[in-house]
Structure formats: structure tokens, C-alpha cells
Amino acid sequence: MGPASDVMTRVCQQRDSTGTVEGMVPIDEARRLVRERCAVLPAISVHVDESVGCVLAADARADEDVPPFANTAVDGYAVRAGDTTGADDVPVSLAVVGEVAAGAPGDVRVGPGEAVRIMTGAPIPSGADAIVMVEDTTFTGDRSTFDGSQHVQVRRSVPEGAAVRAAGDDVRRGDLVFEAGTPITPAVAGVLASINVRQPRVIRRPRVAVLSTGDELIDDGSPLLPGQIRESNKVMLLGLVSATGCIAVDFGVVRDDEAALEQTLRLAATECDAIVTSGGVSMGDYDVVKAVLSRIASMEWMQIAIKPAKPFAFGSLARRDGSEVPVFGLPGNPVSSLVSYELLARPALRKMAGFGPELQDRPRVSAITDVDLVRQADGKVHFQRVLTTRAADGRIHVRPVGAQGSHQLAASALASGLAVVPDGGGIVAGGEVDVVLFGD
């Protein structure tokens, strides 16, 4: 592991002022070490239709005006503004000399005392300098042809430029529209299309292998035998990885067989940019995951000073070409796996996907707890799963979900955040508490 290993050794020998048990790693140190070891992936070109969720790898500049021509913002009539003077008091009658729809060339000319029927988005005819909304008019005559007998009664005066969208009103040719590092939302993709950036350069979306381990796990719907449990972590983690902005690749449930696990991990390293495993990272007893990863990868086996999610492993597995694939070893208890992913794996994967430091973590806010957040001093930071609401005072208020056990996923499934409760005796009702909010 090189320098990172040296730092980890130093960190593991520290104690904090609360008496943290020697060997436990402060959460901030663990997060920093993991992020430092994960590099941003290379840039590629993708079609704009497939760019949502990616991060721009290069500045996006406009090579044409948006809109490219002056057009109308409403349905109505293109007129000369001066011809509508006094219409608020006495309606003005104008001769209708033509009609322009969106997509038409707009080659009709508006002369004095004339008007042209126009549809939203259509180009402004020459001679016109304003639009009267159709709601402020009454048309008379046969609309199938324009022979001089068609007229429109205008009941409202308009100033020059009314409802006219000038060429370049949104974006001008040469403008820097988005900088590198901008996440591509649906709206951003729409703008890229509008400025003719058809193949934006983006950071390649990470492919992340997800697998669970253990002979006790059943994922085929068959009846449970004694000692068996339903697999849930892999399903949860696949969803979390996808929501992170990565491509989740299901590598299934791997039994407690060293050869099978090694084969799966090496295949995952060949096909993916990162690996997320669940189970087998606790300290102490022999475990297949620990045995295999210790042999084929460069790993750190940590005890993080948090609850839940104390055990965590991180390292890298080398490919044949010498490149390395990050490996995130999450604990097997489902709530621990969830919290560990959110605090340690997700920020690093977001970095790999090109998201800047300010977008790698979940939002963190100060909130008010409506009940006592009870805990005992143990040298760890506790992350309690909570429900959040915005109260009449404008502040976010929290209260814990049901049971807080590391195995009780059902009780935590609807949590909307993690209350960060420092080491000590807890926080009394009405006190402030930092909350990591789920949802970007």
C-alpha cells in the first residue's frame, strides 16, 4: 500500500481525547485515506442523449446563438408597436396579411397598419417589432386565405419588443456555457443539445462490481433451511451504486469457497473499475473473504471509530496490466453495510465518476432533535438513523426511526438521514445535531 499504509499505521496508534480504543481509526481519517486512493476515471465522448448522470470533462462552449433567430414567445399577431397606440381605449383594426408557424421561414413582411398571425417559436417577420397576444385580439374573415379581407381587432397596446425573443437571448455564440466538472442533469443535457454539443466529453461512469459472500445466503426464493437467511445486502448495494451515478454490475452471491471467490474477484477486477463486497471483514476469526483478499490484494483491515459499521476493509486488486482496482469491503450486517457505503464507499466512487469535492458527500445540515438521542460514551461517533421534517420554525427536526440495531434494516429502510451523535452521553431533546441527509 506504500505511503497510505504508513499513514494508516500512524492513525491506528493514536488515541483521541475521549479515550478512543487504541487501534480504532477516526472516521475522517478513514474517509480521507479511501478518497486519496481512488483516482478520477478517464474522459470519453458520449452522445448527449446518454450523458445524463455523467460529469463534464471539458468546457462546453456555444458555437451558435440560442435562439438562432428572433422569435415569438406567445401565440398572437406580429405588429408594429406604434400601430397599437390607444388600443387600450379604442380597439385598433389591422389588416392580416399572412401567417407564420414555428419552423416556417417567416418571409412575410409587416407594413404599416398590418399584422401577421404568428405561433409560439416562429420567426419574427420583417417590419414587425412586437407581438400582441391572441387573447387580446379578435379575428374576422376567412383564415384559409389572405386576400385583404381579413382583419384583427387589437384591444391592447404593446411596447416595442413585447413578447419578442431576440437571437442569442439565452446563449450567444462563443459563450462558455458549462465548465468542466459540471454534473449533467436532464436540463444541462438539453442545453448541450441546444448549443449543438452532440458528443460531450465526460468522465467515464465507473463500472462497480457488487457481490455478497456466505454459505448462509439464499437469493433464489427457495424455502429457507435451518441456518439460512435471505440475501439483502447485494440488492441494496446494487441500488445504492446505481444511485451514486455508477454502473452497478451484479456478481451474485459467492459461497465460502476460496477458489470460487478468488475467481469471482479477479473477473470483477478485469471487467470493472471498483469492487464492493459485503461480509467477512470483521476482526478475529478466520473468514474466506479476509483470507482471499489478504492473499491476492493489498488491503487494510480497519476498525473505524463509529457505530454501526465499525469493521471496514479497503485496498486494491492488481490487474494483469499493472493497474489497480479499488476494493471496498463492507460489513455483513445490513445497516452497517448501508452506513459504511454511505460514509466511505460512496464519496470515493463519486470522485472516480468526476464529481468535485463539494458533490462527493451527502448534504450535511444542523437540525433539532425532538427527542433525546441516547447513547453511552464508547470512543465512537454514533450514526443514528432518523426521520427528518421541516417544522414551522423553518428548521429541520429529527427523531430516530425504530430499532437501531446493525441487523435491523427494516427499521432503518425509511430513514431520511443519519444523525451524527458525538462520543459522550448523547443529545437531549431540543438540542442541535448534525444530520447527513439521504438524497442529493
Q: What is the mean pLDDT of residues 150-156?
A: 97
CATH number at residue 142: 2.170.190.11
Same-domain status, 323 and 370: no
Nearest residue to 288 (alpha-carbon basis) of 209, 216, 210, 208:
216
Q: What is the mean pLDDT of residues 58-73?
A: 95
- The predicted pLDDT at position 4 comes to 41
Same-domain status, 14 and 120: no
pTM: 0.84
Longest dimension (CA), the chain: 95
CATH number at residue 191: 3.90.105.10
Amino acid at 332: G
Same-domain status, 135 and 81: yes
Q: Residue 222: is its pLDDT beyond 50?
A: yes
Same-domain status, 320 and 408: no
Q: What is the mean pLDDT of residues 392-413?
A: 76
Same-domain status, 263 and 333: yes
CA 419 to CA 221: how far, in whole Å? 35
pLDDT tens track for 157-216? 999 999 999 999 999 999 999 999 999 999 999 999 999 999 999 999 999 999 998 888
Amino acid at 136: D
More confident residue, 17 or 110: 110
CB-based burial of residue 93 (10 Å sphere; 0-12 exposed, 13-18 middle, 19+ buried)? middle
- The predicted pLDDT at position 408 comes to 58
Secondary structure class of 166 (helix, strand, coil): coil
Q: Residue 90: is its pLDDT beyond 90?
A: yes
Same-domain status, 310 and 215: yes
CA 417 to CA 309: how far, in whole Å? 16
Domain boundary among 343, 360, 377: 360
Domain count, the chain: 4
Same-domain status, 273 and 345: yes
pLDDT tens track for 227-268? 888 888 999 999 999 999 999 999 999 988 999 999 999 999
Nearest residue to 183 (alpha-carbon basis) of 42, 356, 439:
356
- Quick count: other Cβ atoms within 10 Å of Cβ 68? 12
Domain boundary among 291, 325, 360: 360
- Angstrom CA distances, 293 to 74, 108, 132, 287, 329, stand at 65, 75, 73, 10, 9
CA 85 to CA 88: how far, in whole Å? 8
CA 89 to CA 174: how far, in whole Å? 46
Secondary structure class of 10 (helix, strand, coil): helix
- Angstrom CA distances, 204 to 98, 201, 356, stand at 51, 9, 14
Range in 10-19, 138-147, 296-305, 396-405 with the lowest mean pLDDT: 10-19
- The predicted pLDDT at position 287 comes to 83
- The predicted pLDDT at position 228 comes to 85
DSSP letter (8 states) at residue 220: S
pLDDT tens track for 4-52? 444 343 344 444 443 445 689 999 999 999 999 999 999 999 999 999 9
Q: What is the mean pLDDT of residues 360-373?
A: 96
Q: Residue 123: is its pLDDT beyond 80?
A: yes
Residue 430's domain spans which residues? 364-437
Q: What is the mean pLDDT of residues 137-141?
A: 94
Q: What is the mean pLDDT of residues 219-231?
A: 87
The CA radius of gyration of the chain, in Å to the nearest whole number, is 31
Same-domain status, 209 and 348: yes
> Are the C-beta atoms of 245 and 185 separated by less than 8 Å?
no
Domain boundary among 305, 336, 360: 360
User: DSSP string of 11-42?
Assistant: HHT---TT-PPTTEEPHHHHHHHHHHT-PPPP
- The predicted pLDDT at position 14 comes to 41
- The predicted pLDDT at position 439 comes to 76
- Angstrom CA distances, 434 to 97, 191, 380, 384, 407, stand at 67, 36, 15, 11, 24
Same-domain status, 385 and 245: no
3-state helix, strand, coil in the chain (%, to 5): 25, 30, 45
Nearest residue to 52 (alpha-carbon basis) of 182, 180, 241:
182
- The predicted pLDDT at position 404 comes to 56
Q: Residue 116: is its pLDDT beyond 90?
A: yes
Same-domain status, 276 and 224: yes
Same-domain status, 56 and 180: yes
- The predicted pLDDT at position 353 comes to 98
CATH number at residue 28: 3.40.980.10
More confident residue, 54 or 393: 54
Same-domain status, 196 and 303: no
Mean pLDDT of all residues belonging to the chain: 91
DSSP letter (8 states) at residue 363: P
User: DSSP string of 172-187?
Assistant: -TT-EEE-TT-B--HH
Secondary structure class of 276 (helix, strand, coil): strand
> Are the C-beta atoms of 342 and 415 separated by less than 8 Å?
no
**Residue 24, φ and ψ in degrees, nearest 5:** -80, 140
